[in-house]
Structure 1
């Protein structure tokens, strides 16, 4: 393990937490939530968000032990080291990527106090390029062959080049420039691309190809498919296609792309939404000024995450520590993120990748095997739809699932209606509060079918309204939470070797489909024949 910092297996506070976990706070006890000022005290604020966590199974003793854990593991110091440009993406003594982790530099572009000045300057340069491009679109300097403006952007990418940007676009639809829209192609399934292309006017569409390496097979396949459709429509792809890629990659080619914007090797895909990966798309849709508001929201949280060691005043840090309390000490293997906002309907999918790809690891940073649980299973859907789907298990199932609710006081679109003396937004907010309370306190009943055990922990993350600024803050809260937890488990949250093996085997199978022999391929060949109902040629073109 990294001898420089303590972690969950070496910090002295871990023993205290193990002892306290033997008798966690009973939320169902008489007056547990009402006889003290617990509800008023158990609030943490950072940026535009405040978190209500009185419905977690923690008390002051647990919070003090979690504070000691954070201090002993130097969590904010490690976060500062990451933001300042230390090489964090590594496994000591073994071959690894050996990279900095500087997604925060992409929004550390305000003022003259950047944590990593050189990298933040590069981010500013890319923003300047983007601003110039957006200005040229706005003033008609860049148009299609007929002199018409571009109204649509199709984003072609996969994984971190799709999930984060897509979830943010969906969240901020009401703030878009009138007449503009964005569509996404990710799946290598050709039906995905066909569906999107059938719904757009290609003559007025920009195609944004996103791949850091310029070699991602799914993205290159979809790019080729889109380009063929453009050519079939008599459109020059070089005048409609944009590239977001690494400088010097095969996609960094001005002969093939109208503009190229750079992402850098110290920005992991799942952390790249505030880089050009998300900014080109968001800049096109929201405009440059609203894009900056999004980045400012993220930067505000980053600053707090680095500089505030008090867990009661650092929301992402407290969220991370409570998550570890639930996962490692109360032995809850999963966490549900449930936004009471339809606009965030794709945000849990982004968090699935960001969290599970980051912290789904089983070796420490020195290559030794972990002996504790690391990343939990993350999932979620919007409320109130989920209440009519999986909440039955949350309330009465044998698997206790900690919940992170997300809600807003106001709706986005200012369209609401009073029915039976309350508005739709008031009904939504009432349901949000009710679910958290019900899971915590449960209900006694003589009919066992109507009995609720309670003691099912949750937190409420609340803001006034979902805007570009609050969306940036929310994104950064969860990115910081994931990073902090990786530090606690002493794992490398910034590589994704688990993604690679399937790609290697898929390449071997593709060679078999093309009739090319592969050495030691008996296993793949037999699977292919069975899947093809006796002949691999059945799935060959």
Structure 2
């Protein structure tokens, strides 16, 4: 992974950060690195995610999906239980991975109606085995399979923790299982069976994904000037302190769009605490140059724009044309046009006083996505250390879960009373 933060420096934009400030901040990065290394070595809660390239057993994942040759894989999970898997299968160009990570009944019915259920592997993922949305969707999927004459126990694999309802279900029906490692919040589990199993089932090279993660692990050095992940985490933190409270995250590769969704959860849920944290805004280059770029250039200067791309890609020639206004395109390639627009966007942002950072990987392949996922997790953990927040918890999310459970009659939860006390002021 490669980071270029030149366009985030104060020499380029008045809203940037100075080299001198980063030199001072690097003293704190050294201390944070020591804390992170201790957490990795001791497999402490959260920090254990940075040991996954070493700890994840690819053979166990392959064993869990052995004997299946699915036309489709349906992951039933939510948030961190699905976004990492989406990112990896998309980056590897693996077709046939679908997710039920929402409980929209219209979408659920439409998806189940079009899936070849007799050729679909259902991958149900919940560490606790009690996630309401996941279990509700799983019950619906089971019924749909039964209605289609498919024996669900022949087409289901469970990814869960050491105990809980899903583990008991798997034991009762002798279902293949993968274990969610201890010490991992869901959003940091991409390089575990949670993120890797669908890719393995569809024939993806999960070993290379882990090798990419291992390269990210080897790159952790105690200075933001020597470590790409720490450079991104530290510069993001420094810019937030200077008012960049939004992080517009813009991949320039269609197959990295799910990665933008994964990043949004990682950054928001990990760092949005104590009145701090950047709000992630998802976009896709070049599509959103024709819309959101207007805001990034001419709106409030409260943003860091993060631009992400692979350095190498397959390419397509642009045919010659007799249309004079388009003649400049003939003889070029789509990749050259994409690179020109990427670099023009960088320059246009700086010209408008908007700091931006470039993240690059060598290629968008299994190794590259593994390195990218690892690097962003390390960057997020460093940013959390510098901000002094509890990176691995999510108390605000838990509040909403308790309120919903109370409304559904799953127990007495004081949070549910707040819902009942809602002020109503309708206009109809």
For normalisation by structure 1, the TM-score amounts to 0.71
Could you say which residue in structure 2 is the equivalent of 1:162? 82
* CA 1:433–1:480: 2 relative to 1, 3 Å: same
Aligned-pair CA distance for 1:310:
2.9
**Could you say what secondary structure the match of 2:73 adopts?**
strand
Could you tell me how far apart the structure 2 residues matched to 1:352 and 1:255 are?
37
Could you tell me how far apart the structure 2 residues matched to 1:520 and 1:474 are?
38
* CA 1:272–1:517: 2 relative to 1, 3 Å: closer
Unpaired stretches in structure 1, ≥5 consecutive residues: 1-48, 88-98, 109-119, 143-148, 363-372, 443-453, 534-541
Could you say which residue in structure 1 is the equivalent of 2:280? 378
> Which residue of 54, 60, 66 maps to 2:25?
66
Aligned-pair CA distance for 1:526:
5.9
| Deviation digits for residues 324-350 of structure 1 (CA, Å, limit 9, x no counterpart) | 21111x222111111111111122221
1:417 maps onto 2:334 in alignment: no
Aligned-pair CA distance for 1:203:
0.8
Could you say which residue in structure 1 is the equivalent of 2:12? none
| Deviation digits for residues 164-203 of structure 1 (CA, Å, limit 9, x no counterpart) | 2212222221xx3xxx621111111222321221221111
Could you say which residue in structure 1 is the equivalent of 2:263? 351
* CA 1:523–1:375: 2 relative to 1, 3 Å: closer
Could you tell me how far apart the structure 1 residues matched to 2:248 and 2:414 are?
44
Determine if contact 1:241/1:256 at 8 Å carries over to the other structure. Answer: no
Determine if contact 1:167/1:346 at 8 Å carries over to the other structure. Answer: yes
Unpaired stretches in structure 2, ≥5 consecutive residues: 10-16, 320-328
Could you say which residue in structure 2 is the equivalent of 1:365? none
Could you say which residue in structure 2 is the equivalent of 1:55? 7
**Could you say what secondary structure the match of 2:8 adopts?**
coil
* CA 1:425–1:496: 2 relative to 1, 3 Å: same
Could you say which residue in structure 1 is the equivalent of 2:14? none
1:218-233, aligned counterparts within 5 Å?
218-233=133-148
Could you tell me how far apart the structure 1 residues matched to 2:72 and 2:35 are?
42
Determine if contact 2:64/2:177 at 8 Å carries over to the other structure. Answer: no
Determine if contact 1:209/1:242 at 8 Å carries over to the other structure. Answer: yes
| Deviation digits for residues 25-67 of structure 1 (CA, Å, limit 9, x no counterpart) | xxxxxxxxxxxxxxxxxxxxxxxx2222221124442332232
* CA 1:345–1:85: 2 relative to 1, 3 Å: same
Aligned-pair CA distance for 1:530:
9.3
1:49-448, aligned counterparts within 5 Å?
49-57=1-9, 58-71=17-30, 74-85=31-42, 87=44, 99=45, 101-108=47-54, 120=55, 123-124=56-57, 127-134=58-65, 136-137=66-67, 142=68, 149-173=69-93, 176=94, 181-252=96-167, 253-256=170-173, 258-287=175-204, 290-305=205-220, 308-328=221-241, 330-362=242-274, 374-412=276-314, 414-418=315-319, 419-440=329-350, 442=351
**Could you say what secondary structure the match of 2:301 adopts?**
coil
Could you tell me how far apart the structure 1 residues matched to 2:311 and 2:50 are?
28
For normalisation by structure 2, the TM-score amounts to 0.89
Instruction: Provide the aligned length of Structure 1 versus Structure 2.
Output: 409
Could you tell me how far apart the structure 2 residues matched to 1:478 and 1:64 are?
22
Aligned-pair CA distance for 1:254:
3.0
The one of the two structures with greater contact order (alpha-carbon pairs below 8 A, sep at least 6) is 2
Compare CA radii of gyration and give the structure with the larger one.
Answer: 1
Aligned-pair CA distance for 1:322:
0.9
1:488 maps onto 2:403 in alignment: no
